[in-house]
Structure 1
């Protein structure tokens, strides 16, 4: 099977490497040419100059780029993937975007005889590197069934959530839940430290009870240490939350806590933490606490 992967960042790079390791033929494209060269040197594959060249004759084209406009740029126009994809092929977008963008792309793809699946991921860089991502997918069942055995090489869980756009809406639910969880964990750890408790001992105990979460188990040590130069950047989280708020404005859902946490993330940015991991919320809690 011939595949293509567009976007070789902290998520896309490892995902593309898993495809190569699984024995798939992989054409790759990245906006930063040097990064694509390094990827091919380390993982194999064929370096391509444009998304259109990468996608030509591919059975499945994967993409993991930055935002709605980035997806449009790699799919549309003479150099976009849709220009050369063959009828019956499948475009799988792992980017976190608006549901409206997914529907827009699906319509564009359908006019060319191409299937489009919106398939945002969760699990962070570690999940991508370890082949343990969770993928929420929107689109046609037949297309999902065709890609399912392929994405098994970098996913521990994937599920068709409904028609096109449902994958992105599910990712919004994920980000809303994470926002509240990280804020609660930040306040809890800060409280433990102010209460003269050993925060690591506290987490060791409460992580075995009802308070347990992925964020707690994977972020508590670095939160206690004040280390955030890794993981999912605050800038990207705010981008995702903006998508959530726009969708909520359309569907009428109230998001009071998520909107509050977004304001705290804005404070993190003001502290210089644009690229800090989302767990850096604790720095705002610390700044607002009495010594």
Structure 2
């Protein structure tokens, strides 16, 4: 399903331009903090920070020393994938993937011992469940009901994963100074369903499509209630229209908090061209050729 709209339809008060780790419906901050072991590229998701230890967002390791994150994330100096070992940026400037798109690439001074992710190039995102992996704060331990949860602080920082379903795509979604093709999820009242909060900007939307895990989106924008840093799980206030925005978000009131991700299939060629990371089809051919060569050497 594709939404082609003309005005930006928001919840009262605010779109949070930065999307802290995940809030999971029905789960506390101990939920989903370890690799589920399904082949999900959990280890390739890292936390961006500066040399003072201040956290700024999430990044995804592409391979060849390159990290992909949201364009609005501040230019932080280092990234950790396991919480203890830091990799620093080199002196090269950050790379904007395309004008106006909320995506940028940074290069590290040394490559982490990790496999890069595969970026999806197809158009079937809505057919498969999605898993969000993010590195930031979780929920506040404030006795909130399941219907409304206040976001936590940096004491709740952890890498977490959670699931959701792609609710549709938006061509040329426009927010602030950015315009990009987007995928949309909604955080409603479904057990285990995940939604982003603050510092999750740049985190990854992953999907297992035809037996292979792909990175299909980068977290960009999340709605919240009245600017309060609260996930409302479907009990949000009525939506309103902000004037002057050329694109819109179709989201009926009371249906949940909206998360928007940059749709990477629209920019996969640009990303691979900037990083020399092969597209999935090329990577598969190379792996098959390597396997064939190895068999010949053994025979």
TM-score interval for Structure 1 and Structure 2 normalised by the shorter chain: under 0.3
Higher strand content, 1 or 2: 2
TM norm structure 1: 0.25
User: RCO (CA 8 Å, sep 6+): is it higher in 1 or 2?
Assistant: 2
Higher helix content, 1 or 2: 1
Q: Computing the radius of gyration over CA atoms, which structure comes out larger, 1 or 2?
A: 1
